[in-house]
Every structure is written in C-alpha cells, then in structure tokens.
Amino acid sequence: MSDYQTLGMVVGAVMIVAALLYVLDRRAKTQPVDYTDLGKITVGSGVLASGVLYSLGTETVADVAETVTTAAQDMFVGKPEF
C-alpha cells in the first residue's frame, strides 16, 4: 500500500468518526441533525487531520499505521495469549 493511500485511509477514518460523533451528540440531545453543520465538521476534521499528517511526514504515519494494522489483525486472528 502506498503512503498516500495510507494517509487517505487515516483522513477518511477521522472524517467518519467526527461525523458519527456529531450525529450521536445531536440524537442524544433529541435535536435534529443540521446537514450544513455536519458537512462543516466533517470537512474541518479532514483538513485538520491532513495538516497533522502532513507535518508528521508520510514515513512516520505509514510506520504507525502498519503497526496499528498488525496489532488489530492480531486481536482478531490467531490464538490469544495471556
């Protein structure tokens, strides 16, 4: 997987989580979801995540993403060790 694909996946995940948190917050308060605000929050979180990832550099982010991916796969595959 290329570095840009990894960065795109991380930014996409941040945007999805931000959107879900906004929707859950609005539902918890029994208020309607304002799609304009949802779009602003989603795009803003993506821009912020992109800036942070750009400042860290692609090699660092790719290494961290590889480590996290391997750890997550080990949680669901294989034999648990205690």
In the chain, domain spans: 3-75
Cβ atoms of residues 42 and 20 within 8 Å: no
Q: Which helix (H) or strand (E) holds 5?
A: helix 3-28
Cβ atoms of residues 47 and 55 within 8 Å: no
User: Taking the CB of residue 69, how many other CB atoms lie within 10 A of it?
Assistant: 13
Please write down the long-range contacts of 74-78, taking CB distance under 8 Å and 24 or more positions apart: none
| pLDDT attached to residue 63 | 73
CA dist., res. 2 & res. 54, Å (int): 15
Local confidence pLDDT in tens for the 82 residues of the chain: 577 777 788 888 999 999 999 999 999 999 999 999 999 999 999 999 888 887 777 677 667 767 767 776 676 676 656 5
| pLDDT attached to residue 15 | 93
| pLDDT attached to residue 1 | 59
